[in-house]
Structure 1
Amino acid sequence: MTRLLTLVVAMTVLTWLAIIVASMLRSKGDMKLALSNRDHLPEPSPLAARADRAAQNTKENFILFTALAAAALAVAPANAQVLLGAQIFFWARVVYLPVYYFGIQGVRTAVWAVGIVGLGVMAAALLGLP
């Protein structure tokens, strides 16, 4: 497996964990509620609401990452610049989730922007830009 594909798998796991954490916080650890059809969820706590938003943002950004990674795997699977961008994106997302959970304003946006820079590095490499 290539290093880029390893990052895609790792990002998949990270996205799944973000979804699970948000779900568990929203259901307040009540497995009966978590396994239900969730027609009557309680109002989310501030932490649960942030976890929901963080999971949603992670899913949205994962789509962009996956598209760029798939393009790279098709045309430039060993491109060092693509791999660098993917690494920047992944590690920014690892930092982003707990920063969002703890509600650290400003830092959250800065970390998100670092991840977007990683996507930009990937896109630039695929477009042949320096």
Structure 2
Amino acid sequence: MIALNKTDEAIKMLTPLQRQSPNNEVLTLNLVVSLQTAKQYQQAEKILALFIRTHPEHVLAHLIAIDLYKQTKNKAKEHAHRAQLLSLKGLFRKASQEMGTALIYAQSSLDQARYSASIDLYKKQDIRLSALQK
């Protein structure tokens, strides 16, 4: 339906289904993409944030988040999700650098603290990975 430009119909169909099965990855991510396509960014972000909280290693969810935050011009969150995606690939040094970029754009002290903690974690993971590779 999304590909057929029937976004509103997709949202009407997917919303009750996703409420019945909130852990269904396919329903949830299709609803998020539909909402994003309809420029209902706040609702898309709310559903996606809850999904990522329970599925933090879901690569596609992070890709969708990167696209969502790019569209909404939220550079801090865009870079933070890009960093998380890099960390899932084991690219901790790059993840740390990307999270540093997110830190530059972060406006709230809570986000700044969260991003700083993530940088520290990525640096530690990079050291551990390097030690394993020797």
For Structure 1 versus Structure 2, the TM-score category normalised by the shorter chain is 0.3 to 0.5
| Bigger relative contact order, structure 1 or 2 (CA pairs below 8 A, ≥6 apart) | 1
TM superposition score normalised by structure 2:
0.35
TM superposition score normalised by structure 1:
0.36
